[in-house]
Chain A
């Protein structure tokens, strides 16, 4: 199946799901009498999305680059590295509150460098630590923005 057809199929399902969810938007008693409610736009978009998705699915693929299948297009791609980076970003988001900006950011950069094949520790440390500290100094000291330290510092009794 051509990759853009796969996309259209996903978008069709998404538009239908969006339309179904639109019916669950709560309306006040008064707004039931109105022509234009909080549901109107979502309904219209859901119908439009489904119509366009169907049109892509039915019509022949003109764009030559869209004719490739997803398997052909993604063949040889470095999935493992990309997935690892996505996981590290998620971990970064989840640990930011606990470790605080400085520790979480340095950890993120070091792991990111390592995933991409960098093994020279000195180079990694000399890039990550000054970068994070400079950004922290600009935000906290220069612009006066309060960046909360991590919860861990309170738990350990350091702060």
Chain B
């Protein structure tokens, strides 16, 4: 196993150190930080906006760029959380709890520096863990058959819903089903029969994944900024005092180091769970640190605690890295953002899943090794640039929103050159806005849409192999084990509520 890992690492290093890939890591981190910093725009939007750029690139280079954008956007989101208390997305909400009070106390530079060091440490430790666990999982998964894949996809889709939070499970599951429904539009790959095309030539190939991702995230986020008249985004003038002092003392480092180590491990394993993602990673790390802190330190949480800032920042970066494990080894995305990246992988013509580990080690190891480089770039290049990046927050909303809308529309148009796609994007954007206003989550929809085609193919294949019997769901021990896990996840909220009643 270790020999395979070392040779894989070598492949990864030689792939990453190609000048174009180094440049892409740098561009990705830079662009991700810029986009992620804008309030309302999270990593999903950042990755979706950058996908059209990657279409002309090699799959490895494209994935390296998207991975850079992902953790760059997480880092960028922390910056807006700390400076103006406007988290770019849910994963950086916990960062704002202590980061913003710290900035208001006159230490924005210190808060940003701690966020940067924590992100770097969390990301780097998680990459080491990923190097150990991802090949192990991938080598087990190479024996998977269609039935196992089908069961895995059901598990992935269910897991996303299970982590949706109290009262959100059914809504998330419904959105998964809606995504699966949208995936059936177009020509059926096996029979060649048209489904739900309404005689339209434009729908023969189905709905473009990029179109749906842009419409449900980038366009919708930009329009929601307008709808909600977000006061924080009207005049995003960050406090520039104290930027010069990015120094963190040795005593402060000693204070946050144990938190960083604990949160890195916790964040990574939370991120590996399909569906959990960076949000849960950051909140769990924050909660763990608050519980572990001595009473005096506990009182500081929410008022500018250094541990309270370091823990969620480490946790969300470690979880972001961890979410690549199910994506690269099983082809099951661990979060909404990795779901978008899975769509990009499929668009490159790469079949995601354990075979990728064997057939495309350059992509597998290239992405992993590029994360090391990305973390270093984020620390040594972005940290000194933070004061300049922060000026972006001062760009007026009345210029920024039309530009975001324009780039979202062009991101799709310049790939397909079809005006009908622009109209379809507007339609999906309106539908997505309506669903969001009715409190339905969008990430499960995208996940269902991306996995829909693969799931139907694997189900069909399994039925053919097992002579049209559903026994494939339990005949192989591995399929049975995956299905039992799915059942456990589905019944978890119910079990929890029953247990809570008993306790009462």
Where the two chains meet, the residues of A that have a C-beta atom closer than 8 Å to any C-beta of B are 3-4, 6-8, 10-11, 14-15, 18, 21-22, 25-28, 31, 34-38, 41-42, 45-46, 48-49, 52-53, 55-56, 59, 61-66, 70, 73-74, 76-79, 81-82, 85-86, 89-90, 92-94, 96-97, 105, 108-109, 112-113, 115-118, 123, 127, 131, 135, 139, 143, 145, 147-148
| Docked CA distance A31–B195 (Å) | 15
Partner pick for A41 among B166, B223, B456, CB 8 A cutoff: B456
Whether the pair B226, A85 counts as a contact (CB closer than 8 A) is: yes
Whether the pair A81, B439 counts as a contact (CB closer than 8 A) is: no
Query: CB-CB < 8 A to B193: which residues of A?
Result: 25-28, 31, 38
Partner pick for A42 among B165, B178, B184, B397, CB 8 A cutoff: B184
Whether the pair B166, A63 counts as a contact (CB closer than 8 A) is: yes
Query: CB-CB < 8 A to A62: which residues of B?
Result: 166-167
Query: CB-CB < 8 A to B166: which residues of A?
Result: 62-63
| Docked CA distance A11–B434 (Å) | 12
Supposing A82-B227, A109-B403, A112-B401 touch, asked if A38 and B195 sit within 8 A by C-beta, the answer is yes
Query: CB-CB < 8 A to B426: which residues of A?
Result: 86, 89-90, 93
| Docked CA distance A139–B438 (Å) | 39
The SS class assigned to the B binding surface is: helix
Chain B 229-256 residues near chain A, CB threshold 8 A: 229
Which A residue's beta carbon lies closest to that of B464?
Answer: A36
Q: Which residue among A25, A64, A70 has the maximum number of chain B CB atoms within 10 Å of its CB? A: A25
Whether the pair A42, B195 counts as a contact (CB closer than 8 A) is: yes
Query: CB-CB < 8 A to A89: which residues of B?
Result: 219, 405, 409, 422, 425-426, 429
Which B residue's beta carbon lies closest to that of A56?
Answer: B170
Chain B 431-468 residues near chain A, CB threshold 8 A: 434-435, 437-440, 456, 459-460, 463-464, 468
Partner pick for A61 among B167, B398, B460, CB 8 A cutoff: B167
Partner pick for B439 among A49, A63, A131, CB 8 A cutoff: A63
Partner pick for B406 among A49, A105, A123, CB 8 A cutoff: A105
B459 to chain A, nearest CB (A): 7
A115 to chain B, nearest CB (A): 8
Whether the pair B435, A66 counts as a contact (CB closer than 8 A) is: no
Supposing A63-B439, A112-B401 touch, asked if A53 and B188 sit within 8 A by C-beta, the answer is no
Whether the pair B463, A116 counts as a contact (CB closer than 8 A) is: no
Whether the pair A11, B174 counts as a contact (CB closer than 8 A) is: yes
* A55-B170, A59-B170, A86-B430 given; 14 more Cβ-contact pairs under 8 Å: A3-B439, A4-B171, A6-B438, A25-B196, A28-B193, A36-B463, A62-B166, A73-B437, A82-B226, A93-B409, A96-B419, A108-B409, A112-B406, A118-B396
Whether the pair A49, B437 counts as a contact (CB closer than 8 A) is: no
Query: CB-CB < 8 A to A55: which residues of B?
Result: 170
Whether the pair A38, B191 counts as a contact (CB closer than 8 A) is: yes
Whether the pair A109, B174 counts as a contact (CB closer than 8 A) is: no
Whether the pair B439, A65 counts as a contact (CB closer than 8 A) is: yes
| Docked CA distance A62–B500 (Å) | 14
Whether the pair A90, B423 counts as a contact (CB closer than 8 A) is: yes
B308 to chain A, nearest CB (A): 24
| Docked CA distance A105–B407 (Å) | 10
Query: CB-CB < 8 A to A115: which residues of B?
Result: 402
Partner pick for B438 among A4, A86, A96, A112, CB 8 A cutoff: A4
B27 to chain A, nearest CB (A): 13
Partner pick for A49 among B167, B181, B420, CB 8 A cutoff: B181
| Docked CA distance A10–B184 (Å) | 20
Which B residue's beta carbon lies closest to that of A34?
Answer: B468
Chain B 386-403 residues near chain A, CB threshold 8 A: 396-399, 401-403
Query: CB-CB < 8 A to A4: which residues of B?
Result: 171, 438-440
Whether the pair B226, A78 counts as a contact (CB closer than 8 A) is: yes
Supposing A4-B171, A85-B405, A90-B426 touch, asked if A63 and B165 sit within 8 A by C-beta, the answer is yes
Supposing A35-B463, A93-B426, A112-B406 touch, asked if A28 and B170 sit within 8 A by C-beta, the answer is no
Supposing A26-B193, A35-B468, A55-B170 touch, asked if A92 and B402 sit within 8 A by C-beta, the answer is no
Supposing A48-B177, A76-B229 touch, asked if A21 and B402 sit within 8 A by C-beta, the answer is no
Whether the pair A96, B422 counts as a contact (CB closer than 8 A) is: yes
Q: Which residue among A7, A74, A78 has the maximum number of chain B CB atoms within 10 Å of its CB? A: A7
When each residue 210-237 of chain B gets 1 if its CB lies under 8 Å from chain A and 0 otherwise, what string results? 0000000001000100111100000000
Whether the pair B181, A70 counts as a contact (CB closer than 8 A) is: no
Query: CB-CB < 8 A to A34: which residues of B?
Result: 468
Does any Cβ of A come within 8 Å of B206's Cβ? no
